[in-house]
Structure 1
Amino acid sequence: MPNVTPTEDEVAGWFDRYSNWGRWGAEDLLGTLNHITPSMRAAAARTVEHGRSVSCAWDVRMNALDDGGRIQSQRMMLRTGLGYRDGGEEDVSPAGARAVDGHLGTASEIISMAFHGRPITHIDALSHIFWKGRMYNDVPSAYVTDRDGATVHDVRTVAGGIQARGVLLDVARAQGRDWLDPREPVFPEHLEAAERAQGVTVGPGDVLLVRTGEGARRTNGDWNPALNGSPGLHVACVPWLSERQVAVLGADCPQEVTPSGYENLKLPLHGIAMAAMGLWLIDNCQLEDLGATCAELDRWHFFFSLGPLRLTGATGSPVNPLALF
């Protein structure tokens, strides 16, 4: 597939062209997860040979700032281990006794987070994105309310988790590079070059993970996407994703290249993929460990498993995606 940059009008027209509204029924909530069949899940599970499990998530750091200078996660301790004399039995905390009984104590906390953003690995529910006031399958955006959150398309749609064959396309490695440059787009030809280099083909029902090397830059390089932008898939990949019948798309960035290069379409891949296609997205995966494991085993497919928190009305969830070999 040639590297062709569509015009803004062409991209806007893709919303209808690649829409899955009504494809699986007027009440469908799963979107592209319909591509994953029970037999596909079972076949993917049977590929586990080594018993090795690799996490594809970043640590959630408390009180850390995102690239826009906002605090993403906070912790407030309710009970701690402070207030006991070393080797003694008397509680010296001015707040009073902390022990449950004469022997047992506990620690607990409250965690709050704004997981939509770059620091936290998370899945976007189909209520996260609107296109001209509509969510996937023609659901009005007004169904996401200030009182109840997402009353349709909340993250509990995937309460049973996502299990499928996962494929890593390591675009940076296929080009012999540690990472792609900020603002560098990934086109279908780059995805297909990675397929050829790795001897793997993305097919129906696959969870596709794309490594740009942004994770390596995040820990070892000059990482400032708010200022410099970031690499990612160009919206020109939408037809490719549709044709391959990808069930879930994840990346080591929020999937798409930023800035988009279009004046009036700031996040065109998100808009068309989620609101039109019903394609579930996993943002900010930590793919450095997975890339190293795939290279070591010379195997770029695996059993993929993910389970979100069952948050009522939530437009997504922090997640810890797992790749099993």
Structure 2
Amino acid sequence: MSPPTLRPEFHEIAERVNNWGRWGADDEIGTLNLITDEVVREAAATVRTGRRIPLALPLRQDGVQTGMIPGRINPLHVMVQINQEVFGPGTVACSDDAVTMGLQAATHWDALPHVSHSGRLYNGRPAGTVTAHGGAGFSGIDKVRHLVSRGVLLDVARVRGVDRLDGSCAVGPEDLDAAEELAGTRVRAGDIVLVRTGQMRVLLAGDRHAYAYPSPGLSIRTPEWFHARDVAAVANDTLTFEIFPPEVEDLWLPVHALDLVEMGMPQGQNWNLEKLSTACGEAGRYTFLLAATPEPFTGATGAPVAPVAVL
């Protein structure tokens, strides 16, 4: 990464949130270690009505990506056989599909080696362990074999009384505190936190470019908030996760580096939290069982996910 990433203020925060060695030198899943059997049992107890709310965007060719990020292409879907009688005339006919896409193209999780800084990945591993042919040698998305826990919606847009935060808004710890108060619960160890900015409304209205830039997102001050509460994973409803352009001039993707590299905390982007926000507001509660296991692509630095919240 570029030299501005090495600024002293970044490293001061990094030192305070660093989890390297916390779960052993061989650990590859970071804060997901916080999701214990007990945490999952308590998460299951949040289900009251059984209402299921999908949080993923459709995988489609005119999807989220605008070309801003090289190589991150929207899904290209083709049929490879249509009503073909594979085993001979008069047999059952099959239709099969194939798709080419960026694994972070739509609703997804970032794996821990998605970014590096200062030549290092999570747990101090060399950035060079990510290779062209093998992908991530450590902590690839395939290491996340299950991801189910209590979800907590921190509806920052609702707290501020707006449908969508302004593109220049950096969501800070004070916003998370206010949203936590609205939720009527304390975010606790092993939770998966979903932060709603309302930015998804722009995309759902059909404006991909306005969705991408400028974008509200998490402030460089938020990783310490998540670290203090031992959050297992964080996702939101934006393309870039953190505020973009960055709040500190020329300090690009510092929240990515703090979350993924220093804490070992997976983060998700492009989650559709609009229906969930409505449902939580109607129910007056913002906790739920969240099932969000990514597709296990071997050695991948991210993967699509089709999360479901169960209220």
Do these two structures clear the TM 0.5 threshold for a shared fold by scoring above it? yes
Given candidates 174, 177, 186, the residue that maps to 2:171 is 186
Q: Is the 8 A contact 2:108 2:304 kept in 1?
A: yes
Given candidates 106, 111, 126, the residue that maps to 2:94 is 106
Note if 1:245 corresponds to 2:247.
no
Q: Residue 226 of structure 1: CA displacement? A: 7.5
Q: Equivalents in 1 of 2:73, 2:130: separation in Å?
A: 24
Q: Equivalents in 1 of 2:224, 2:50: separation in Å?
A: 35
Q: Residue 195 of structure 1: CA displacement? A: 1.7
Residue aligning to 1:76: 78
Q: Is the 8 A contact 2:80 2:95 kept in 1?
A: yes
The SS at the match of 1:177 is coil
1:96-118 CA-to-partner distances (Å, cap 9, x unmatched) read x777541421111211111324x
Q: Is the 8 A contact 2:54 2:307 kept in 1?
A: yes
Range with bigger deviation, 61-70 or 184-193: 61-70
Q: Equivalents in 1 of 2:64, 2:294: separation in Å?
A: 23
1:180-228 CA-to-partner distances (Å, cap 9, x unmatched) read 0112111111111112223222111110000000111222375525873
Given candidates 211, 230, 236, the residue that maps to 2:221 is 236
Q: Which has the larger radius of gyration?
A: 1
Q: Equivalents in 1 of 2:8, 2:189: separation in Å?
A: 28
Q: Equivalents in 2 of 1:317, 1:264: separation in Å?
A: 28
Q: Equivalents in 1 of 2:275, 2:183: separation in Å?
A: 17
CA, structure 1 residues 125+105, in 2 after alignment: closer, same or farther (shift >3 Å)? Answer: same
Q: Residue 45 of structure 1: CA displacement? A: 1.1
Residue aligning to 2:47: 48
1:113-156 CA-to-partner distances (Å, cap 9, x unmatched) read 11324xx0011111111111111001111111111111211111
1:250-279 CA-to-partner distances (Å, cap 9, x unmatched) read 000132111112234200000011100001
Q: Equivalents in 2 of 1:266, 1:24: separation in Å?
A: 28
RMSD: 2.1
Residue aligning to 1:162: 147
Q: Which amino acid aligns with 2:26?
A: E
Q: Residue 17 of structure 1: CA displacement? A: 2.3
Residue aligning to 2:302: 316
Q: Which amino acid aligns with 1:147?
A: H
Q: Which amino acid aligns with 2:300?
A: A
Q: Is the 8 A contact 2:219 2:247 kept in 1?
A: no
Q: Is the 8 A contact 1:183 1:228 kept in 2?
A: no
Range with bigger deviation, 10-19 or 22-31: 10-19
Matches within 5 A, 1:207-218: 207-218=192-203
Residue aligning to 1:152: 138
Q: Is the 8 A contact 2:200 2:211 kept in 1?
A: no
Residue aligning to 1:302: 288
Structure-1-length-normalised TM-score: 0.87
Gaps of 5+ in 1: 1-6, 83-96
Q: Is the 8 A contact 1:214 1:252 kept in 2?
A: yes
Note if 1:265 corresponds to 2:251.
yes
Q: Equivalents in 1 of 2:151, 2:89: separation in Å?
A: 48
Q: Is the 8 A contact 1:8 1:262 kept in 2?
A: no
1:269-324 CA-to-partner distances (Å, cap 9, x unmatched) read 00011100001111110101111111121110001111222211111110011111
Q: Equivalents in 2 of 1:123, 1:57: separation in Å?
A: 11
Residue aligning to 2:10: 11
Q: Is the 8 A contact 2:141 2:296 kept in 1?
A: yes
Q: Is the 8 A contact 1:250 1:282 kept in 2?
A: yes
Residue aligning to 2:66: 67
Gaps of 5+ in 2: 1-5
Note if 1:279 corresponds to 2:265.
yes
Identity %: 37
Residue aligning to 1:172: 157
